[in-house]
Amino acid sequence: MAERLVGRLAPEFNMETVNGDGQAFGAASLNDYRGKWLVLFFYPLDFTFVCPTEITALSDAKEEFANMNTEILGVSVDSIHSHRAWINLSKEENGLGKLNFPLASDLTKSVARDYGVLIEEEGIALRGLFIIDPEGEIKYQVVNHNNVGRSVEETLRVLQALQSGGLCPINWKPGDKHLNTK
């Protein structure tokens, strides 16, 4: 049975990254995101079919996330060199093109394992997405089958609900009332 992470401090990580420009390499740690919200998402592999639809959609929504004091970090078990090649390949050639956030390399698979998304027998990650608050607590996690992409709209909605500070009923959207407990 998978361990529940919501409500707990996010597992620490230190990973090499390639910037979204496809040029510079860097590094990312959980500590780098203290004081901001973080959408940390795992995807199976570079140069696949569903992954670029999610990655580019999140990149396109970067400004909406930034307006909510939120950073985005994508992670797979591929190398930074594979990430770089994929970013530098145009969308027309089944690449990503330039991104608005970095991609991190989890070659050791330790981060995917710590977040409970590693498929051990295949050596790849499930599609896991975590929203981590500015203090490092995991507030939301969703993990699904690798054949099905996630929803940027739902990720934004959940982030807005978490940041609203109230009790949010089903399908809550900004401007809707919170539940009254009195």
List pLDDT tens digits, range 2-43: 578 998 999 999 999 999 999 999 999 999 999 999 999 999
Q: Which CATH superfamily is domain 14-150 in?
A: Glutaredoxin (3.40.30.10)
Long-range contacts of 155-158 (CB under 8 A, 24+ apart): 155/39, 155/58, 155/129, 155/131, 156/61, 156/64, 156/65, 156/68, 158/131
Task: Catalytic residue, from 51, 99, 138, 161: name it.
Answer: 51
Which pLDDT does position 81 carry in this prediction?
97
Indicate if 168 belongs to the active site. Answer: no
pLDDT at 1 over 60: no
List pLDDT tens digits, range 78-135: 999 999 999 999 888 888 999 999 999 999 999 999 999 999 999 999 999 999 999 9
Residue spans of the domains in the chain: they are: 14-150
Average pLDDT value for the chain: 94
